[in-house]
Amino acid sequence: MNNRAVDAVIFDLGGVIMRNGSPRDFTQQYPDHDPAHIAELIMGPHHLDTDHPWHQVERGEISFAQCREMTQQLLAAAGVMPPARSPKESTSARSSFAFELNDDMVAFIHDLRSADIPTAILTNNVREFRQWWWPLLDFDALFTTIVDSHEVGMRKPNPAIYQLTLDRLGVSATRAAFLDDLHANVVAASAVGLHGIHVEPDSMPAIQHARTLAGLA
- Helix (H), strand (E) at residue 8: strand 8-11
Report the pLDDT value the prediction gives residue 92, as an integer from 0 to 100.
43
pLDDT tens column, 153-193:
999 999 999 999 999 999 999 999 999 999 999 999 999 99
Nearest 5°: phi and psi at 45? -70, 130
What is the pLDDT at residue 180?
Answer: 98
Residue 33 has pLDDT above 80, yes or no: yes
Band of residue 80 on the pLDDT scale cut at 50, 70, 90: very high
Parts of the chain belonging to CATH 3.40.50.1000: 8-21+99-213
Q: Is the pTM of this model over 0.85?
A: yes
Q: Does domain 8-21+99-213 have CATH number 3.40.50.1000?
A: yes
Q: Which pLDDT does position 94 carry in this prediction?
A: 46
